Amino acid sequence: MTKLLEVNDLRKYFPIQKGIFQRTVGYVKAVDGISFDVQRGETLGLVGESGCGKTTAGRCLLRLIPPTSGSFIFGEEQVDLAKLTHQEMRPFRRRIQMIFQDPHASLNPRMTVGDIVGEPMRVNRTEEGSALQDRIVELLESVGLRSQDTRRYPHAFSGGQRQRIGIARALALQPELIVADEPVSALDVSVQAQILNLLAELREKFQLSYIFIAHDLSVVEHISDRVAVMYLGKIVEISDAVTLYQSPKHPYTEALISAVPLPDPSAQRKREHIRLEGDVPDPSQPPNGCYFHPRCRYATDICKQETPELRQVAQGVQVACHHSETLELQGV
């Protein structure tokens, strides 16, 4: 496998401004130095609770918001996307696309489906005239819609179908990488499975790589090859999906897995339930040391003083915990 994207030390700080002069009084460290890579044809899951910075990280990668620092080395050319100007970025935009969470808000209600799916190709002048129309129909058919749907408007479609339109639009420019931000969380259970299957099928068909951002651990487990767990702007653990869920190495991962109620009553009765105390801390005033220590049941003195670095503990397993070697953590 070849590396498609390498993210090094990505940071995004949002200034907190106060007073009539809008003086900066502090920063919300939404993404606080994360590094990971994505192989070609791979799905990397990015999980975490609200406010952990997973969406901000995704948006930085597409340069939808400018990152504070960090580098993203992309493609065979090994270009650092973070350093490109707006003009230089344009040819790369078509190679990285995004699927959004809310299929009701991400489609323009005044445009027909054909226009929505065709717009990226018109803007980038990749297809014209009847070739464009053929391509639109081909895209719609590849996501399970029909050719006669081109002239209908988004309101005529259900949530799942709208998400299919969003996926067709993302595929229009034959991207290599798709950042999918909570693509199924707004959908009903029975439709969610359809969209997950579609995403998996399209990955095979078009050799796509995904960065799959979601809060639902079971969905992420299903679709991902590797999973990165984020907490308060940092990656606390990254490893292949099976290892992560079977034998987590970070106490936060363990707690997250334990908190998911299993749709299996007797298994659920037998499980040990780890209840984390309190809430996620305010990201503008994170605690000292390990950000997770105030809620961690294994925390010792060192956790209160020193911030653990993300380090390799086994082949393909990276963890940011002082005690990961000595802890015996519960998986599913």
Backbone torsions φ then ψ of 252, nearest 5 degrees = -70, -40
Residue 279 touching another protein (CB under 8 A): yes
Q: Which is nearer to another protein, 78 or 285 (CB)?
A: 285
Residues binding another protein: number (CB under 8 A): 45
> Least CB distance from residue 62 to another protein, whole Å?
25
Residue 189 touching another protein (CB under 8 A): yes
> Least CB distance from residue 219 to another protein, whole Å?
6
- Residue-wise burial string across 184-221, b where 16 or more C-beta atoms lie within 10 A, e elsewhere: bebbeeebbebbbebbeebbeeeebbbbbbbbebebbb
Residue 241 touching another protein (CB under 8 A): yes
Rg of the chain on CA atoms, in Å: 21
Residue 207 touching another protein (CB under 8 A): no
Task: State which of positions 65-124 bind another protein (CB under 8 A).
Answer: none
Residue 219 touching another protein (CB under 8 A): yes
Token pair listed for 97: 């696309």
Q: Which of 37, 49, 102, 119 binds another protein (CB under 8 A)?
A: 49
Q: Which is nearer to another protein, 75 or 281 (CB)?
A: 281
Q: What mask, x for binding another protein by CB under 8 A, covers residues 155 to 174?
A: ---x-xx-------------
> Least CB distance from residue 300 to another protein, whole Å?
21
Residue 301: Cβ-neighbour burial (10 angstroms; 0-12, 13-18, 19+):
exposed
Residue 246 touching another protein (CB under 8 A): yes
Select from 22-30, 71-79, 124-132, 210-218 the region that touches another protein (CB under 8 A).
210-218
- Which distant-in-sequence residues (6+ apart) come within 8 Å of 123 by Cβ? none
Q: Which is nearer to another protein, 23 or 146 (CB)?
A: 146
Contact (Cβ atoms closer than 8 angstroms) between residue 320 and residue 234:
yes
Q: Which is nearer to another protein, 111 or 332 (CB)?
A: 332
Select from 12-20, 28-36, 193-201, 205-213 the region that touches another protein (CB under 8 A).
193-201
Ramachandran assignment for 255, one of left (phi > 0), alpha (psi -120 to 50 degrees), beta (any other): alpha
Q: Which is nearer to another protein, 99 or 223 (CB)?
A: 223
Instruction: Report how far residue 250's alpha carbon sits from residue 243's, in angstroms, rounded to the nearest whole number.
Output: 12
Select from 104-112, 168-176, 275-283, 303-311 the region that touches another protein (CB under 8 A).
275-283
Token pair listed for 204: 């095979």
Residue 218 touching another protein (CB under 8 A): yes
Query: Which alpha helices (DSSP H) does the chain contain, by range?
Result: 54-61, 86-93, 113-123, 129-142, 159-171, 189-206, 217-223, 241-246, 251-259, 265-270, 301-305
Please give the DSSP secondary-structure letter assigned to residue 281: P
Contact (Cβ atoms closer than 8 angstroms) between residue 101 and residue 110:
no
Contact (Cβ atoms closer than 8 angstroms) between residue 249 and residue 48:
no
Binding residues vs another protein (CB under 8 A): 49-50, 158, 160-161, 188-194, 196-197, 200-201, 215, 217-219, 221-222, 241, 245-246, 255-266, 268, 273, 275-276, 279-280, 331-332
